[in-house]
Structures are given as C-alpha cells and as structure tokens.
Structure 1
C-alpha cells in the first residue's frame, strides 16, 4: 500500500509546477466559509503555500512551524496560505468540519483552504503533507521560487540547521536569488480520490 501511495505521489509530482513556473490563480473555500484566491491581497510580495492536513503525524509536527512562518513573514509581505487536499472519504479526519475545528482550536491566523476537488494540489504537484511552495509576486502573476520541505529536522525545529522556507523568503525580501530552490518534501502522501 505504501508503494502505491508513493507511486501515485510520484505521478502527480511530475505534472506539477517547477521552480520558475508561473502559478495559475485559484479560488478555494476557507474555514470561515469565504472564498480565497492569490489575487485577493493586493499588497503582498508573495505567499508561503503549505499543503498540509489535520491527520498526518508529520504535518502535526510541523504545524507550529507553519504558524511561526506566518507570524514572521506575513508582516513582511509573505503570508501563509494553508491548503488541505486529502480526500475526506479516505481520511474523515480531514473533512471540512474537522478543518474548521482544527483551525479554531489552534488559533490559525492564516487561511486554511479546502481543496475538495484536489485540482490545486495536482496543479502544484503537491505530494506530501506538509509540502511547501514559496511564490513571488511579479506584476499580477506569481512565480514559484521554492518547493519542498520547511526545514531539515522533522522532529525538532530548534535542531534544524537548514530552514529552507525561511531562507528562501529572506533571500527574496533581500532581492537575491534563492540559494536552495528545492528540498525533498517529507510526510504522509496526499490521499487521492479514486479517479
């Protein structure tokens, strides 16, 4: 079964965005019932997009780091958008109502969006939870600047000596090229709906 999940993840990853690609805007329902798109905020410099979920132990281990990224970078123009793409039939703990409960209990200060059709995850090539994308605003478009893991220590944020997402955003804010544009995302495979 793990092999099947890995193969499905691999298939989807090859079809998704690569670093340097322009991202197609999307509209997804937030846990507050409102629709959110990239174009909503005119004053942003980009976004930190986190494909995550309620149920994966790895996603849970990184949850506080996603919250911290938003606290650190939203005021600088790079807010977090969290997206949950697991099929709720396969993973009931990731239903829309469960997402609402999680966002409320953890006091999320960023949108937690439901990708019910899984279209956005497929377009990005997201395979895991968490799977991070940093997109930089260029005019009215967004270009992928980083894809992959948050950092290099799944168990202990303090022990991570490579903080890939934070380093990428700091380099973009400084007008520099991202030194490490990708790092392998780790975590549970996204639970894909049967075709």
Structure 2
C-alpha cells in the first residue's frame, strides 16, 4: 500500500512538472506580512472568515486537496495537528484551491464527502476563485502557513512543509509546522520560518 502511494506521488510530481502553471502568483505573503481577511464556504455550507476568529492565538492554514496523493498522505497528520493545537488557540483551517474541472475529486460534493468520512474537526473551505491561494502565494498541496494573531491582525510566521517526510509519517525527523506553533505558544521566535513545499502543483484556472 505504501509503495502504491509513493508511486502515485512520484507520478503526481512528474505530471505537475509537465503542466502549465501560467497565472501562478510568484509573490504572495512573506514572513512578517499581515494577512488580508478571506471569506470562503465551508463543507457544512457556512461561510468562514478569518476576521470571525476571535478567541484564538493564531491559525494553521493548510492548502490541500482531495485528489493529490501528497495531501492524502498528510490527511491524518493534519487532523492530529488540529487535535493537538486547536485547544491551545491554534486551530487548523484547510483550504482547497484545486480546480474541479481538472480533478473531479475536488468538487464541493466530494469535499463534503471526505470531510464527513474522516470527521474533520476543522473547516474545509473551497477556494473557487483561487484568489485566496494566490494572495498567500500557495503553489502546492499541501502547503502550510502558520499565522500569529495580535489584536485583529494575523501575521505570517511560517511557510512551507508540514514536516520533512511526505511519504512516511514514521520517518519524520522535523515537525516544521508543529515546532513553529509550539514556539509561538511558548513566546519564542520560530526557528525555521520557510521550507520548500513538496506536493502537487496547483493547476490555475485561466
């Protein structure tokens, strides 16, 4: 099973390298930038806005998708991140920017099915216009952003991989997103602020 998943990941990377990504925002938020508010539809039908998150210390924003084998490999780890840190003031918000016209597994109905089947304890938002992903500068799924809240402002403190081993949770040696959140909760600076995301390239709409 693990071998099949890894082969799927390799094929995903090869296909992504051959796919045009014209229109991709090469900029996006940098470390220390304040994030503009976004308002996106959750799989429960309700709208979720960053500005509505009042009683939090920050948030872990993860761009992900249904179809990508990398995203599937990280799914349980994303659930665990939320389970560990939501109660400490850093909940997960998952956002799917994938074009369902390219990947049928990423339709809103399929998102609802997946969130229900896995019992996500966090919002799974659809980024239909892909404008939120472009504002962040997201390039792949999954890609994590750790935001720290101060007053009404959310500031970027970490960008990149969730951890250092996409294919094997047991082989992880660096918990980048988790360490970033733990440092912020402890009042310490984030040591590793940027890593290169590994995953499926986001296919941008024309």
| TM-score, normalization by structure 1 | 0.95
1:185 and 2:197 matched = yes
- 2:21 touches 2:204 (CA, 8 Å); kept in 1? no
Question: Which of residues 32, 51, 69 is equivalent to 2:44?
Answer: 32
- 1:6 touches 1:189 (CA, 8 Å); kept in 2? no
1:168 and 2:180 matched = yes
- 1:91 touches 1:191 (CA, 8 Å); kept in 2? no
Structure 1: unaligned runs, 5 residues or longer = none
1:154 and 2:176 matched = no
Question: Counterpart in 1 of 2:105?
Answer: 93
Q: Measured at CA, do residues 145 and 6 of structure 1 come closer, stay the same or move farther in structure 2, by a change above 3 Å?
A: farther
Aligned-pair distance for 1:4? 5.0
Question: Counterpart in 1 of 2:7?
Answer: none
What is the SS of the residue equivalent to 2:45?
coil
- 1:145 touches 1:178 (CA, 8 Å); kept in 2? yes
Q: CA RMSD in A?
A: 1.4
Question: Counterpart in 1 of 2:65?
Answer: 53
Map 1:50-89 to 2 at 5 A.
Answer: 50-89=62-101
1:143 and 2:155 matched = yes
- 2:21 touches 2:203 (CA, 8 Å); kept in 1? no
Provide the rounded CA distance (Å) in 2 between the counterparts of 1:40 and 1:86: 24
Aligned-pair distance for 1:181? 0.3
What is the SS of the residue equivalent to 1:104?
helix
Provide the rounded CA distance (Å) in 2 between the counterparts of 1:147 and 1:17: 9
Deviations 1:97-149 (A, max 9, x none): 11000000111010000000000000000010100000000110100000000
Provide the rounded CA distance (Å) in 2 between the counterparts of 1:51 and 1:7: 17
What is the SS of the residue equivalent to 1:64?
helix
What is the SS of the residue equivalent to 2:99?
coil
- 2:16 touches 2:200 (CA, 8 Å); kept in 1? no
| TM-score, normalization by structure 2 | 0.90
Structure 2: unaligned runs, 5 residues or longer = 1-14
Provide the rounded CA distance (Å) in 2 between the counterparts of 1:19 and 1:31: 29
Moved more, 83-92 or 163-172: 83-92
Aligned-pair distance for 1:158? 2.3
- 1:29 touches 1:36 (CA, 8 Å); kept in 2? yes
